[in-house]
Amino acid sequence: EFPRFVHVGSAGVTRPDRPGLDLSKQPPAVRLNKELDFILTFKLKGEDLIRESGIPYTIVRPCALTEEPAGADLIFDQGDNITGKISREEVAQICVAALESHYASGKTFEVKSVVPFSEPFTVTLENPPPEKDYNVYFKTLKDGITGKEILEQDPVPV
């Protein structure tokens, strides 16, 4: 079954309520969720409604979006722990690929490039990056991982 709906969320949505999280090491949106009128809290509620809808979906949570070109090597992760940056153009390509992949259906994942924030990513016409097969990444994704699992752990029986 292919996703009928691809939602672009944002990395960090489960972090504001995570116990024991060192906020000083988190991106601004996570540190300032309250000051930003709980934007991440509302984004997470939107994701939850999508997951509960019964509509085949993919939820893509990019790290910080940049105007850099697509083509950098990527890291896909689940559990809402990564920080970094990714090209807006790359996220758009991931969304289109997800619509055509049964491996992406029912999955929630974060994505970033391997390029550090301090380093600009550029491409040249003479040496363009190869086209990606995003199924290579989608195939590694597990069902049911949202990053909320840490918050919803069952109490340990005594």
Q: Render pLDDT for 65-121 as a digit per residue (tens, 0 to 9).
A: 999 999 999 999 999 999 999 999 999 999 999 999 999 999 999 999 999 999 999
pTM score, two decimals? Answer: 0.91
Contact yes or no for 60/8 (Cβ under 8 A):
yes
The CA angle 108-111-116, to the nearest 5 degrees, is 160
Predicted confidence (pLDDT) per residue in 125-157, tens digit = 898 999 999 999 999 999 999 999 876 655 555
User: In this predicted structure, what is the pLDDT of residue 23?
Assistant: 87
Structure tokens at 100: 């055509």
Contact yes or no for 57/4 (Cβ under 8 A):
yes
Query: How far apart, in Å, are the Cα atoms of 131 and each of 67, 73, 125?
Result: 19, 11, 14
Per 3-state DSSP, what percentage of the chain is helix, strand, and coil (rounded to 5)? 25, 15, 60
Mean pLDDT over all residues of the chain?
Answer: 93
Can you name the CATH fold of 5-139?
Rossmann fold (3.40.50)
